[in-house]
């Protein structure tokens, strides 16, 4: 999983702020890093804490939640906004859509609904952060000048879906396992296993996004016959289980 996700709470009603702040955020790996009573203070808190998510009331004096979102998005387009409001007018919902809000929750709301909504947002954040760390295409390494490294990488690309291990690669390429890893580390800064699993996870991600194949089928297609192990590796790579990752594109849209 990624690091603790930071949440900024904004509402002009004290009882609402207190109630939101008291929710058990730790159960979903979220830290309520700041609580503001209006949009102006919220903007100051944003500069100070740099939250990943802002849970804000829509109608507030001086600076509304929509205006706050507009200002924050200019500073950090990746910051996720979730609106929490007792107003359901179409104009407000439309304005929330314009600022690309993640969700629009109506007051009063069950605390479980709020936690579930924030949890979905954290999954989206974790995936984005993980992809920034692991986003590289194994094709990039095909242009390495070292012929031996290119040969090893090509072997991985051709055999990732079957029994592909450091030892099988060594046997087929007539290298020793130590020599293979030495060559790869020097030219790509990654080991054979790291390159193999990165390719498998990137292809798995494409299957989850673009097909309706079952997770078991996807696991087998990328050469991992243990579905539980596959799910563990995928979660470490992208911050969410395969099933959660598949749901993110739909879940990330505004829920009315």
- 143 and 108 share one domain: no
Choosing from 73, 101, 132, the residue where a domain stops is 132
| Structural domain contains residue 101 | yes
Interhelix angle 242-251/192-210, rounded to 10 degrees, is 40
Model-wide pTM > 0.75:
no
**pLDDT score of 90:** 80
Domain shared by 192 and 127, yes or no: no
Q: Are residues 128 and 179 in the same domain?
A: no
For residues 100 and 43, state if they share a domain.
yes
Average pLDDT, stretch 53-72?
Answer: 92
Q: Which of 41-45, 232-236, 242-246 has the highest mean pLDDT?
A: 41-45
List C-alpha distances in Å: 188 to 98, 156, 180, 185, 220.
42, 14, 12, 5, 27
- Whether residue 120 is contained in a domain is answered as yes
Give me the domain span that covers residue 84: 5-132
* Confidence tier at 188 by pLDDT (50, 70, 90): confident
pLDDT digits (tens, 9 = 90+) for 2-23: 678 999 999 999 999 999 999 9
Are residues 184 and 122 both part of a single domain?
Answer: no
| Whether pLDDT at 221 is above 90 | yes
The CATH number linked to 62 is 3.40.50.2300
Backbone angles phi, psi at 61, to 5 degrees: -65, 155
As for how many domains the chain has, the answer is: 2
């Amino acid at each position: 999983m990624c690091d603790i996700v930071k949440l900024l709470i904004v509402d002009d009603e004290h009882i609402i702020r207190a109630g939101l702040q008291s929710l058990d955020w730790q159960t979903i790996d979220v830290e309520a890093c700041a609580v503001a009573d209006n949009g102006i203070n919220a903007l100051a808190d944003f500069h100070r804490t740099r939250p990943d998510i802002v849970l804000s009331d829509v109608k507030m004096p001086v600076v509304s939640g929509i205006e706050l979102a507009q200002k924050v998005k200019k500073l950090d387009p990746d910051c996720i906004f979730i609106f929490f409001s007792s107003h359901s007018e179409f104009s407000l919902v439309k304005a929330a859509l314009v600022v690309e809000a993640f969700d629009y929750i109506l007051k009063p709301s069950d605390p479980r609904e709020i936690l579930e909504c924030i949890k979905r947002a954290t999954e989206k954040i974790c995936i984005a952060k993980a992809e920034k760390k692991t986003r590289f295409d194994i094709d990039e390494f095909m242009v390495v000048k070292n012929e031996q490294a290119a040969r090893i990488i090509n072997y991985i690309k051709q055999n990732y879906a079957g029994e592909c291990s450091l030892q099988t690669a060594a046997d087929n390429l007539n290298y020793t396992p130590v020599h293979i890893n030495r060559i790869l580390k020097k030219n790509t800064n990654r080991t054979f296993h790291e390159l193999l699993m990165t390719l498998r996870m990137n292809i798995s991600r494409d299957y989850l996004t673009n097909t309706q194949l079952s997770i078991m089928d996807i696991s087998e297609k990328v050469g991992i016959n243990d579905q539980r192990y596959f799910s563990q590796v995928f979660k470490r790579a992208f911050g969410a289980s395969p099933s959660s990752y598949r749901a993110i594109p739909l879940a990330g849209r505004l829920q009315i």
